[in-house]
Structure 1
């Protein structure tokens, strides 16, 4: 199955909206990489391979319920396999039932219809606040766990 990076990204967000994390993981190449350059605290900065991505996503529906992609702008690059996506997700934090709105910038590379690189720039402070874990993140940063 060959698809463009934009089509793959849209499919990924549709699957997240459906809380089908196993299918999201299947969008990754077996050796695909997910990077989170701004990750802090106990959040991983890099996942290597589909199985690490699968394990990372496994509990996502227990933490966050994304209900809408409120904005999405796809910007092509000089490489037809790579796009930059600016997007906003809204939803509800499962633990607190509070609404959230998070902004992201993703650099996405897709080859043969599978994600080979997913570099996700997001705010760890905003994500921790949305998840109800801001205190734990701040504590981990104070302890030098960045």
Structure 2
């Protein structure tokens, strides 16, 4: 797969809750960082760590709180054929209400031989957590010595 195909499969897979498939988009040894996450988690360095990150690799049950999709997708190519910048938003609605949300995102990916070997995922995690009624999960004080990424 090309870098753009991998990117599109990733963001659409997240939106569709297809978490079991997502770790396979990454190389066995990788470097995934979430620089805007309030807790500044340590980088994810392996496919196994990504499997745990995506909930053990199991497909998500229907989320009763929120439905969303990747919209406004733009892919910017760089001089390095392995590196792309994907610009998009997760947009959706909160179940049981008329509340809509639009969370802008930028992913910078390095894809080699059809697998993500490096990723910097710039997401407004607070806005996404709020939309999913999970804001408490990311507003706690970071643990002492939490890894910076």
Query: TM-score category by the smaller chain?
Result: 0.7 to 0.9
TM-score by structure 1 length? 0.78
The CA deviation at 1:44 is 2.4
| SS, match of residue 85 in structure 1 | strand
Q: CA RMSD in A?
A: 3.1
Q: Which has the higher helix share?
A: 1
Provide the rounded CA distance (Å) in 1 between the counterparts of 2:51 and 2:93: 22
Provide the rounded CA distance (Å) in 2 between the counterparts of 1:97 and 1:25: 33
Provide the rounded CA distance (Å) in 2 between the counterparts of 1:107 and 1:122: 11
The CA deviation at 1:144 is 10
How many correspondences in the alignment?
141
TM-score by structure 2 length? 0.77
Match of 2:113? 112
Provide the rounded CA distance (Å) in 2 between the counterparts of 1:135 and 1:18: 23
Is 1:15 the counterpart of 2:13? The answer is yes
Q: List gaps (5 residues or longer) in structure 2.
A: none
Contact 1:12 1:24 in 2 (8 A): yes
